Amino acid sequence: MFNSLRQKIEEFIHSTENTIDKKFDLSPETRVKSIIKSKIRLSEKDIEEILWKFQLDLIQNDVAVETTEGILERLRNKLLHEEIERGKIHEFVMNSLREILLEVLTPDEEIDIIERIKNSEKPFKIVFFGVNGSGKTTTVAKIAKFLMDNNLSVVFAAADTFRAGAIEQIEKHGKNLGVRTIAHQRGADAAAVVYDAIEHAKARHIDVVLADTAGRMQTNFNLMEEMKKICRVNKPHLRIFVADALTGNDAVEQARRFDNDVGIDAVILTKMDSTEKGGAALSIINETRKPIIFIGTGQGYEDLKKFEKEWFVDRIL
């Protein structure tokens, strides 16, 4: 996981060290005098080439252009405006990158899903958005398992009434987990399905309603109108966008579009175990300012990990 991004960062740090070493490779007769000057300052010319290459490396690792530019601008300011102690170049660049990446990965609001559920009225309503193939329905099932492990009761709303087999898929997960699924026939009003699931939860004192929705492309006007209606009628407490890490910048654009058209509160990034890049996480948080609350790390119901920015940065540095 993240091997490619880590490799490119290591190459950048090595290139920075080499550039500084070459610039300050003093002749023997001046070396003694240089001891007095223990700190150095770089110029724009010194770092222009290595920053350009690093920019391409980040983009190739699924970091969006806007996010890449923000990272490089912060990094440029640190390299140009702070004195670097000789012999501690590697440490300085690493610490600078760590600080910058942690800033990028800090959303406008952190969300602890368990605390939010416990402190809200019941049933707590969560609607999941995402395009087909992102692992949305499986993620709904993983969240159900996570909530039940935390002593919360759950019901599914099969609100993907558009795709053939979608209702059967969520019902199968429900049977595996012992969760009731509220469903209508294919082509039914998705908002009505969620409404009925909420009423079912109220009648049986169920804590959480998890609504799986249709997943056509984010450019589909009818899909967005359907999502808006689901939210308008049912007023979910939490709107979660499920993104596929393997799709890179497409996932960023999808998240941005869903947020602009419908509004999202948080993101779950799936298939993180299958990518060596990792840039999608940086970009989604930076571009939407929404938190990534979980990442998918496999196909099992337990393969769901809370996203922690410190853990993420440690993995790539």
Q: What pLDDT is recorded for position 87?
A: 73
Lowest-pLDDT range, 91-95, 198-202, 293-297? 91-95
φ and ψ at residue 249, rounded to 5 degrees: -65, -25
Both 52 and 72 in one domain: the answer is yes
**Domain count for the chain:** 2
Instruction: Say how far residue 5 (Cα) sits from the centre of its chain.
Output: 15
Of 81, 104, 127, the residue that ends a domain is 104
Token pair of 112 as six digits: 């602890």
Decide if 316 is inside a domain: no
Same domain for 11 and 39, yes or no, is yes
Q: Which of 104, 135, 163 delimits the end of a domain?
A: 104
Same-domain check for residues 119 and 87: no
* Residue 284 included in any domain: yes
CA–CA dist 98, 127 (Å, integer): 34
Residues 216 and 273 placed together within one structural domain of the fold: yes
**Which range is least confidently modeled, 66-75, 77-86, 184-193, 225-234?**
77-86
Predicted confidence band of residue 92 (pLDDT cuts 50, 70, 90)? confident
State which of 104, 123, 142 marks the end of a domain: 104
In this structure, are 98 and 144 located in the same domain? no
Does the pLDDT of residue 31 top 50, yes or no? Answer: no
pLDDT band at 72 (very low <50, low <70, confident <90, very high): very high
Helix axes 3-23, 44-60, angle to 10 degrees: 170
Q: Which residue has the higher pLDDT, 117 or 55?
A: 117
Residue 274 has pLDDT above 80, yes or no: no
Q: Where residue 283 sits, what CATH number does that domain have?
A: 3.40.50.300
Burial letters 4-39, b for 16+ CB under 10 A, else e: bbbebbeebbebbeebbeeeeeeeeeeeeeeeeeee
- Whether residue 137 contacts residue 166, with contact meaning beta carbons closer than 8 Å, is answered with yes
Asked if pLDDT for residue 218 goes beyond 70, the answer is no
- Quote the CA–CA distance of 256 and 264 in Å, as a whole number: 9
Q: Is the Cβ–Cβ distance between 205 and 122 less than 8 Å?
A: yes
Does one domain contain both 158 and 265?
yes
Are 147 and 83 in the same domain? no
Q: What is the pLDDT of residue 182?
A: 96
The model's pLDDT over 36-47, given as tens digits with 9 standing for 90+, comes to 456 777 778 878
Which pLDDT value is given to residue 24?
A: 61
Q: Note the pTM of the prediction, 2 decimals.
A: 0.88
State the Cα–Cα distance between residues 121 and 123, nearest whole angstrom: 6
- What pLDDT does residue 26 have? 46
The verdict on 250 and 296 lying in the same domain is yes
In this structure, the answer to whether residues 24 and 158 fall within a common structural domain is: no
Q: Which residue has the tokens 């058209």?
A: 261
The most distant pair of C-alpha atoms in the chain lies apart, rounded to whole Å, by 87
Express each pLDDT in 227-262 by its tens digit. 999 999 999 999 999 999 888 888 888 899 899 989
Q: Are the beta carbons of 47 and 16 closer than 8 angstroms?
A: yes
Q: What angle do CA 259, 312, 140 make, to 5 degrees?
A: 50
Residue 148 in any domain: the answer is: yes
Q: Please write the tens of the pLDDT for every residue from 141-173.
A: 999 999 999 999 999 999 999 877 889 999 999
Could you list the residue range(s) of the whole structural domain that residue 252 is in?
Answer: 113-307
